[in-house]
Amino acid sequence: MLIRDSKDKFSTQALLCTNVLLKPVEILEYFAQRWQLEVTFEEVRAHLGMETQRQWTDLAIARTTPALLGLFSLVTLIAHERWEHHEVWVRRAA
């Protein structure tokens, strides 16, 4: 499937799918869902140090990764709730 931006803000992209039964709209929906997941993983790598963990054993890494993702999710939900229902506070200086 070839997607183009009518306003020329984004370059033309080709989306490939192995399931020939999917409609173009479904392929685009899957792409949008996958993009959100990729952005989440990029944020986790950038801010939580994912994939740079320095544990000695695979078991330690297996415990740490879900804990980091859970903490990231919890902080995100708390920040979203605060943003929606309370006065937003932004630090102006350290």
Interval 36-53: pLDDT, tens: 888 888 887 787 777 766
- Give me the sign of the Cα torsion angle 54, 57, 60, 66: positive
38-53: b or e for each residue (b if 16 or more CB lie within 10 Å)?
A: eeeeeebeeebebeee
Q: What is the pTM of this model?
A: 0.52
56-93 per-position pLDDT tens digit? 777 877 788 788 888 888 988 988 888 888 777 777 77
At position 30, the amino acid (one-letter code) is Y
Token readout for 55 is 């544990």
